[in-house]
């Protein structure tokens, strides 16, 4: 079971997506793919920054969001995120709040996080990560 990070989701609408990523994605059943509500927020923000945001957002909704299940950031994830923020600050290795929130959703749901930015996520204890772009 996999939690797809924002950079992974955005790869799906590129003209020339990474072939390693596409190859790996084809081996995973769609019912094993999830994303986080935080990733939807990031995709929406990214779409609004571009020219013709309505068209891009429609593509995101139709080509990505209809094919995955989105997990919320709720109470248990908020508690886990607070623990992670404290831990990372105490060891002097903080990361962005959005990444912490995404990681907490992955940890609370027992999912492996798929990201092209595993460098940040390796700092989070017990979080399993994979980079499908290599």
Residue 48 has pLDDT above 90, yes or no: yes
- Give domain limits for the chain: 2-130
CATH fold of 2-130, please?
Rossmann fold (3.40.50)
Tell me the CA distances in angstroms from 62 to 47, 68, 72, 88, 116, one per residue in order. Answer: 14, 11, 20, 36, 23
Backbone angle region of 81, left / alpha / beta, with phi > 0 → left and psi within -120 to 50 → alpha: alpha
Tell me the CA distances in angstroms from 99 to 27, 50, 54, 96, one per residue in order. Answer: 26, 22, 26, 5
C-beta neighbour count of 72 within 10 angstroms:
10
- pTM equals 0.94
Cα–Cα distance for residue pair 94/100, rounded to 1 Å? 9
C-beta neighbour count of 22 within 10 angstroms:
13
pLDDT tens-digit map of 64-120: 999 899 999 999 999 999 999 999 999 999 999 999 999 999 999 999 999 999 988
Res 51: pLDDT: 79
Q: Tokens at residue 40, please?
A: 């939807």
Complete edge-to-edge strand list for the sheet that includes strand 69-71: 69-71, 33-36, 2-4, 112-114, 129-130
Beta-strand relationship, 129-130 and 112-114? parallel
């Amino acid at each position: 079971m996999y939690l797809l990070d924002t950079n992974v989701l955005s790869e799906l609408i590129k003209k020339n997506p990474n072939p390693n990523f596409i190859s790996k994605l084809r081996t995973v059943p769609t019912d094993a793919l999830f994303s986080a509500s935080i990733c939807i927020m990031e995709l929406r923000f990214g779409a609004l920054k571009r020219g013709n945001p309505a068209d891009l957002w429609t593509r995101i909704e139709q080509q990505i969001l209809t094919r995955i299940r989105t997990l919320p950031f709720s109470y248990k994830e908020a508690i886990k995120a607070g623990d992670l923020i404290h831990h990372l600050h105490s060891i002097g290795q903080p990361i962005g709040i959005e990444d912490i929130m995404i990681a907490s959703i992955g940890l609370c749901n027992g999912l492996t996080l798929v990201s092209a930015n595993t460098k940040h996520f390796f700092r989070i204890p017990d979080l399993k990560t994979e980079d499908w772009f290599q």
